Every structure is written in C-alpha cells, then in structure tokens.
Amino acid sequence: MSHYQYRGENLICEDLEIESITSEIETPFYCYSFRNLRDNINKYKKNLENTNSKICFALKANSNLEIIKIIAEEGLGADVVSIGEFQKALRAGVSGENIVFSGVGKTEIEIEFAIKNNCFQINAESISEIKKINEISGNLNIKQNIGIRINPDVKPDTHSKITTGSIENKFGIPINDVKELFIQSNLFENLNFNGLAFHIGSQIMNLEPFEEACKITNQLIQDVESNGFAIKTIDVGGGIGIDENKKFQFVEYFDLINSYFAKKDRTIIFEPGRTIIGNTAILVSKVLYIKETEDKIFVVIDAGMNDFMRPALYGATHEILPILQSDTKKNKVIEFVGPICETSDKFLKLDTFQNINEGDFIAVSNTGAYGSSMSSNYNIRPNIAEILVNKNKFSTIRKRQALEDLISE
C-alpha cells in the first residue's frame, strides 16, 4: 500500500497534507514516508523469514544518514561501493559484519579500510583485484572473505546504461576464469573464497533474466563444488524495478532464488536499493512559469535535472501529481521542464493534464532511489532539503544547502 494518496483534493503523505509542508520548507524538496519505508523492509523480511539470508541495502540508491539509520535499526546490512558509503553505513549503526563491499574499482585505501573494519565480504571483480586484496590482507595479518563476482552474460530488458551483467559490461569475471580461480585459490593464502556474486542490471521488471542468471550461476556452483569447494554465500545482487503501471512478481522472485540457491549451510545475500526506498519519496516542486506555444505548453518548475537526474540521464518516466487535484483538464500536450540550461532538463511529457497555474505545486513520484544520491550542484544550485513524514508530522532529515557555502569555495 502506498501512503501517498488524495484526501479530497489534497495530496497527502500518511496523515499530512503536502501543501502544509510547502509553507514551511522551500521548494524543491524530497518528501519521504516512514510507513512506506517500513512496509518495504517488512516485505523483504516476510518473504525471507524461512531463508538463510542477509539483506544488504544498496547505499548507492540513497545515502541519507537518517534513512540508513532506520534501515539499520530494522536489522538490515549494507551494500557499499566506496569508502564514503562504508563510513556512512558504520556511522548509521551498520556493523562491518553486515557490510558487503562491491564495485569494480576499489582503491588500496578502500580495501584496507574494509578489512580493518571486519567487512563481511568483499566482492572481487577481477583477478588483479583478488591479488591486491590478498596482498593487503597479508600485510594486515587478517584472512578476508571474498565473493567472486561473475559476469553471466545476461542482457535484461532495461536501459543500456544500467545493464551490468553482459559480457560487454565492465563488471565481473567471465565464467570460465572463475572455475580456474577456485582451483588456484590455495595460492591466495590470505583469502577465504566464500562464494559467488552476480548483479545483472537495474530497473528490471520481469523474472526471465533473473532466472537465466540463476541457471548459469547454479551450473557454476555445481562445477566448483564437484572439485571439493564449498560455496558458502551467493550474492544475487539487486536490480528489481518499480513501475506505476506494472507490479513485479515478488513472491515468484523469492521462490525462484530459493529454488536454485537455498541450502542449510549457505547464506543468500540480497542487495535491494530501489525496492526499499524508491516509492517512499516524492520530489515536491513549484510551478515558476507557464509558457504556451502553438504545439504545447511548457510548465517550468523549480526542480531541475541536478536535483533528480534519472529522466535526463536514462529517459526514466516518473508520474507527476498535482498537490491540489482538480477536475478541469487542459487538452493540449504539456511538458514539465526544469530551469537548467540543458534541453534534456525535462521530467515528463503528457497529452493532457489538469489546469495548472504559476505558483501551483506538483510532485514527481517514486524519487526515493537515485534521486538525492545522484544530485549535483550544477549551475551552482544548492542541494535541496529532505524531509521525513511519520503519521501527521514531519522532520527535516537534511537541510537545504546554504548558497553561501557554494559560492565561497
């Protein structure tokens, strides 16, 4: 259940009218629902209650400290891809034993930090990286758990910029090389070859590519274990999408993963990002100008691509909702655009929308994932505020960046 609904003409988050927030918080701003976040976490917990699993939230999706604290309090771990994300997870209360360190380009400083902080597993993506982790572990006299990220050469039906499991992508180690790595694992005396990992992409809405990756990985597990090696962990990554017009088959997904990998002495690692945080937030923005041409109406809002990059970067579609609903319609093509000096700074194009005026407020939906975490100061625009609604109250969980801080550096 979404906790963003209309009560009469008013868009509400939980029990609070969004319009009332706009009188206190300068737009644009991100608004999160605590209940949505809690419900998403509980969905994972419920589906995995009988599975030996570890749920590691992908900090790349959202790195707000207060959000991560809530996730940590719910018992989730963290999937990180940088020393900054690792430190943020620790500060939020996630222990190193619940952190998986992924990413194709870890530095020596990052690897050393992870090992010193009891990282549960470092997912290695190249033979060179494995050698480097082994060397650093030896210098620290610590035996480190690693997972071998494989490249299963699976191409899901998603945007080309967010596919990560194809042989054309930079991620993971080819299957045939992995088999040989395990045979030679005794050469890496400072490492425990804990298991395997894969991640095939993002915003995936169907089961078929996940099943293909599972089949390929399962065959590799059989080959490796037939040579006397135990696969103690299997990291199935994340990648599940959210879509206003289509529901993902969650129950079937978990059944699929369990059917291939569940085993008493094996831990299955999940790295959800979007499905934990995506639908928890809206981006609230004010209409600055209405610009009507012969062909369409441009609605210029005060949020830009620097605040929310996905539509410009990936052509992602996010529904736009009026803060105050009306029955009146404007039957002309309408395009919501931002103030940035780029043609790609646009959010959505519609054939029709309700009548809208300068000074009105709108909400861009499902912006909790890859919103604030991908934002920038392009055009010397401050990072925007983030607020969290719980029942009928809200708190500021990140203040709007002061312009003075930007122009003084």
Strand partners, 267: 233
**Which residues face 99 on adjacent strands?**
78
Does residue 67 contact residue 57 with C-beta atoms inside 8 Å?
Answer: no
Compute the distance between CA of residue 373 and CA of residue 354 in angstroms, rounded to an integer. 31
- Tokens, residue 22: 């706009």
| Partner residues linked to 321 by β-bridges | 363
Where residue 92 falls (left for φ over 0; alpha for ψ -120 to 50; beta otherwise) is alpha
CB 320 within 8 Å of CB 336: yes
Residue 56 known to be catalytic: no
Q: Of 13, 56, 214, 341, which one is the catalytic site residue?
A: 341
Residues 6+ apart with CB under 8 A from 114: 83, 86, 96, 99, 101, 106, 122
- Helix (H/G/I), strand (E/B), else coil: 262: coil
Collapsing DSSP to helix, strand or coil, 123 comes out as strand
CA geometry: angle 113, 68, 370, nearest 5 deg: 95
Residue 193: enclosing H or E segment and its boundaries? strand 191-197
Buried b (16+ CB within 10 A) or exposed e, 165-199: bbeebebbbebeebeebbeebeebebbebbbbbbb
Minimal CA–CA distance to 272: which of 247, 240, 249, 244? 240
Distance set, CA 215 to CA 5, 208, 256, 319 (Å): 41, 11, 10, 35
What 3-state class would DSSP assign to 80? strand
Query: Is beta strand 267-270 parallel, antiparallel or unpaired with respect to 233-235?
Result: parallel
**Long-range contacts from 69-74, C-beta under 8 angstroms, 24+ separation:** 69/93, 70/34, 70/37, 70/38, 71/37, 71/41, 71/276, 74/38, 74/41, 74/45
Maximum alpha-carbon separation in the chain: 72
12 beta partners? 5, 17
Residues marked as catalytic: 341
